[in-house]
Structure 1
Amino acid sequence: MKNIKFLTVAAASLLASAAIAQQAAPTTTPANPATQPPAATAPATPAPAASFIGMQTADQMLASDLIGMSVRGAGNESIGEINDVVLARDGRVIGAVIGVGGFLGIGEKDVAVPFQMVELVRGSDAGDHVVVRKTKDELKAAPTFQEYEAPKSNSAAKAPAQPVPTR
């Protein structure tokens, strides 16, 4: 369930950042138009509305496809799989969280790598996968990725809730 919520947020963030990046720069008007000479050119046309992404292209990947994708090392060794994606508030993809080690998720640890280190490979004999230019041993030796935990409010320090009396 957590993955579905994250994927929805990630997809919306990626789409929003693409739309914002495609917007034209706003035009400025003089502070006091009465002091400016009349324009000799045709009136400016309004800036176009933000465009939409109509279709995914072959060189693009969806976050929903990225989560769970196998990760291979430089020597085509199996390293793990993508467990999550780290996004900035402005929608930029910061990194990929890779589950390494363990067996069937038991004993596995999460390691985050900058997304610039990730190469998306589409349609090879091994199917769509990700290549990271690190070895399995290097990733196992990397620090464990820690998710952010919001600070707890002090409202919990108040008196405990009283049970509701029964009849």
Structure 2
Amino acid sequence: MKMMPIYAATAAVLLSTTAMAQTAAPTGTMGTTTTAATGMAPTFVTRQMADQHMASNLIGTAVRGPADENLGEINDLLIDRSGNVAAVVIGVGGFLGIGEKDVAVPFQTVEMTRVDGKNRLVLRKTKDELKNAPTFTEMDATPSTTGSVNRPATPPATTAPVAR
């Protein structure tokens, strides 16, 4: 009979640690969750934070100049391997998309705020500076045998005949 309290205490400890291992930690400051049992890095992002912007809301947004003139609109975002936005690609010049060219500027140079739930983007450049800026070109998706600054040299793709 003296062993019964020991068995009860052991069972209580074992059951409580199993329950603790299955609970998730509370949502952190980045809107992420971690597993309490492992203490590992966040595995899921659960919500957008106030200082974060959705790419789908930025693309197509007008970019304003320091004097509130329309400089163009965001056509795309350039994202590096680590997931950081390296640049915004702005369509400048032209009319209704005709004669427009893409200019990329570092992401940090675009000031982003929210006004009445809408993104407001300001770039401290003039229309003339953007018109005179070099055109941004995308890396060609097709392999090149010559290589260039934007395209690494790669041999042409070959396919082996199917063995029958």
Aligned CA distance change for structure 1 residues 120 and 53 (closer, same or farther; 3 Å): same
Percent of counterpart pairs with the same letter? 53
Q: Within 2, Cα distance between the matches of 1:67 and 1:105? A: 15
Aligned CA distance change for structure 1 residues 52 and 84 (closer, same or farther; 3 Å): same
Is 1:122 the counterpart of 2:114? The answer is yes
- Please give the root-mean-square deviation of Cα atoms over the aligned residues, in Å: 2.9
TM-superposition CA deviations, 1:29-77 (whole Å, max 9, x none)? xxxxxxxxxxxxxxxx742352432222332210000100000011111
Map 1:52-71 → 2, pairs under 5 A: 52-71=44-63
Q: Which has the higher contact order (CA 8 A, sep 6+)?
A: 1
Following TM superposition, by how much is the alpha carbon of 1:128 offset from its aligned partner in structure 2, in angstroms? Answer: 2.3
Structure 1 unpaired stretches of 5+: 1-17, 24-44, 159-167
TM-score after normalising by structure 2: 0.62
More strand by percentage = 2
**Which runs of 4 or more aligned residues in structure 1 lie more than 4 Å from their structure 2 counterparts after TM superposition?**
none
Q: Which residue type is aligned with residue 121 of structure 2?
A: V
Aligned length: 117
More helix by percentage = 1
Larger radius of gyration: 2
TM-score after normalising by structure 1: 0.61
Q: Within 1, Cα distance between the matches of 2:42 and 2:51? A: 22
TM-superposition CA deviations, 1:72-130 (whole Å, max 9, x none)? 011111100000000111111100000000011110000000001011121159x4221
Map 1:75-94 → 2, pairs under 5 A: 75-94=67-86
Q: Within 1, Cα distance between the matches of 2:67 and 2:60? A: 20
Aligned counterpart for 1:146 among listed residues 123, 127, 137 = 137
Secondary structure (helix, strand or coil) at the match of 1:104 reads coil
Q: Within 2, Cα distance between the matches of 1:95 and 1:106? A: 23
